[in-house]
Structure 1
């Protein structure tokens, strides 16, 4: 696929997907969603870590309301099921760590696209906004799934009902995101974080994603069994052997990843 609404860069195991419609604050239209989905699938095959970020002053302003939303024929259910759901599930199911580097405002579906990642790093001037009630809607794009798990029921309900802006610092304090970084340090910081993961034990990262997510629905015996199963698989890997050898030799490990 030739990308027009995004950029895709692969460097040293890092696949960076940049939303590239800065003139509309990277609003999501049908073409962008298709390109993001294609890029995520591509990255899963050729990278060791994936980054979502935005061009310009915003991460993503949400659904592009000029993309048919004002038309009486606009079928939100169809768009969510056929376009948003595959894109969001590609993030969820990705065997690699997916990082959102939130460079600016993340609103509506754009906020929930960011929150779907495994780790969210935001620049301090960024903000998250569940803007849906401002146009007579409810949060979608996974917002009703992620928010209560990340910040608790009361804060999720307040954010959804009032559509108040949540600053990056506040989001970090609430546990909505991993960290808020001063603007001047943001680009170098998230790239260093991503480079660290790109050199790491990829299979272990995939196992962590699976175990933590399934843990929400498992009882303790089931979760302990899952841990034993996944750890048993990792214990047979070359990366585990390399990690132990490096530890005993007092040197940094050189993980192969996948």
Structure 2
């Protein structure tokens, strides 16, 4: 059964719960979901609630209106450039760290436009589905600023240093097909299929071994900071921890019974 939290239309972020799937929808469509201080704070509060709820086994990030997210709110940054940046980025960075550290896989459902912080945010997701016609642009250089929200960490790891510098320094827009070719996103679908395709993937992940997903996420994200001996030790520790879970026992038993495993996320 779908359980949707009720929020006034003026709320900058909407959180919906459908079983084990939590969906966070950026909700400033009149501003292409540009992040202002209230949205950043609401995003952090929602992510904190999700991180504290073991019943959440998949997370979807989406945007209402014509696009996923146009970046930071320029009205806020024009009125108070330094303090506005601090007030937006402090909660946003906290939320981002929680998303990358939680066990539940994070899916970005992208359409219309993903620019600036919108592109940075989807780079930190675990899986990205984009609608045909979506336009991407790192965009920061056009405002005379460096990037934020983890872009300088994620982009070189995904596309390599040379390509990352080209994307960042030129600030050119590119298409969903370009993003797929570069490895910035995982899949391009027709706009009419975006919601259903995301739901199907979220349901698949939400029925998987959630603790193992979390271990896999952390191993992959930390791998480039470790030597091979350090990574082997981290893999051993993670495997041993997973071996003590209900899901591992269920998976091994299902294998021996030649059945599909049923995971509880424990």
TM-score in terms of structure 2 length = 0.91
CA distance in structure 2 between the aligned counterparts of 1:119 and 1:208, rounded to whole angstroms: 13
**CA offset at residue 51 of structure 1?**
0.8
Distance 2:193 2:90 in 1: 38
Q: Distance in 2 between matches of 1:41 and 1:128?
A: 28
**Could you tell me whether the CA contact under 8 Å between 1:80 and 1:141 is conserved in 2?**
no
Mapped partners of 1:72, 1:193: distance in 2: 40
Q: Structure 1 length normalisation: TM-score?
A: 0.94
Question: 1:6-17 residue pairs with structure 2 within 5 A?
Answer: 6-17=13-24
Q: Does 1:168 align with 2:176?
A: yes
Residue matched to 1:139: 147
1:237-256 matched pairs, under 5 angstroms: 237-256=245-264
2:26 counterpart of 1:19: yes
Matched residue, 1:64: 73
Which residue does the alignment assign to 2:64?
Answer: 55
Q: Which residue of 1 aligns with 2:136?
A: 128
Q: Which 4+ stretches in 1 moved above 4 angstroms? A: none
Aligned partners of 2:184, 2:259: CA distance in 1, in Å?
Answer: 35
The root-mean-square deviation of aligned C-alpha atoms, in Å, is: 1.8
Residue 179 of structure 1, aligned match among 184, 187, 192: 187
1:200 matched to 2:205? The reply is no
Aligned counterpart, 1:34 = 41
- Secondary structure in 1 aligned to 2:149? coil
For 2:21 and 2:80, the matched residues in 1 are separated by 42
Count of residue correspondences: 257
Identify the residue that residue 209 of structure 1 maps to in structure 2: 217
Query: Which residue of structure 2 aligns with residue 115 of structure 1?
Result: 123
> Which structure 2 residues correspond to residues 151-162 of structure 1 after superposition, within 5 A?
151-162=159-170
**Aligned with residue 232 of structure 2, among 215, 224, 229:** 224
